[in-house]
Chains A and B, each alone.
Chain A
Amino acid sequence: DVKVTQSSRYLVKRTGEKVFLECVQDMDHENMFWYRQDPGLGLRLIYFSYDVKMKEKGDIPEGYSVSREKKERFSLILESASTNQTSMYLCASSIGQGFIQYFGAGTRLSVL
């Protein structure tokens, strides 16, 4: 079974803090993704990576950055958290040219 693990289920941070969300997959997938999920808006792509040290902007990259130093790990960084970044964050991975994504359980981030 593919396993995508997000390091935290719930996080509470203060405005202006630097926040790291970590994601690890165990299936040697080339592609990894970060989404945020908000009520009524579905899944919106923040960043993705198709290889180690490679990253591409998604639809809503502003206020975020990412890091992929190892194939299995993809980190989402909020340089200075703001209240409008309160959301559910989902990490996913997929194989090479594969379309099917495997998701982690999500991290619910609250920025106060």
Chain B
Amino acid sequence: GESVGLHLPTLSVQEGDNSIINCAYSNSASDYFIWYKQESGKGPQFIIDIRSNMDKRQGQRVTVLLNKTVKHLSLQIAATQPGDSAVYFCAEVSGGSYIPTFGRGTSLIVHP
């Protein structure tokens, strides 16, 4: 069964470093993936998405990598800034559905 924890995985980095946030997804039939950022006191906000026919997609300061062989997704943030401090969620969508399944999130803390 699912393990339930009260604490999120946490990644602490120094300002200016590159950050890599990882996500293992569960459904090999998932064909669309999304990353969200949730700042304290706010709702999740879309960052970037990727389809399963791609293995890399770049945005502004962010890159998403997809490895379907091991069902792994990562979000890379270049030159991390204090404003990047937030909880980051990955979400997967399986064929035929338009409703994402969310991961539990990773807390990113950026130290000035």
Contacts and interface: CB of A to CB of B under 8 A. Distances in A.
Contacts of A101: 44, 46, 100
Interface residues of B, number: 23
A105 B102 contact: no
Given A97-B98, A99-B49, A102-B46, A40 B4 contact: yes
Contact of B104 (A4, A33, A42, A90): A42
Nearest to A108: B41
Interface size class of A (residues with CB under 8 A): 20 to 34
Given A31-B98, A99-B34, A42 B89 contact: yes
Contacts of A104: 43
B7 interface: yes
Interface string B48-84: 0100000000000000000000000000000000000
B93 A99 contact: yes
A12 interface: no
Nearest to A48: B99
B25 interface: no
B8 to A, nearest CB: 7
Given A98-B98, A99-B32, A106-B42, 14 more contacts: A33-B99, A40-B4, A40-B6, A41-B4, A42-B102, A42-B103, A45-B99, A90-B43, A100-B46, A101-B44, A101-B100, A103-B45, A104-B43, A105-B43
28 contacts: A4-B43, A31-B98, A33-B99, A39-B6, A39-B7, A39-B8, A40-B4, A42-B89, A42-B102, A42-B103, A90-B43, A90-B44, A92-B43, A94-B98, A97-B98, A98-B98, A99-B32, A99-B49, A99-B93, A99-B98, A100-B34, A101-B44, A102-B46, A103-B43, A103-B44, A105-B42, A106-B41, A106-B42
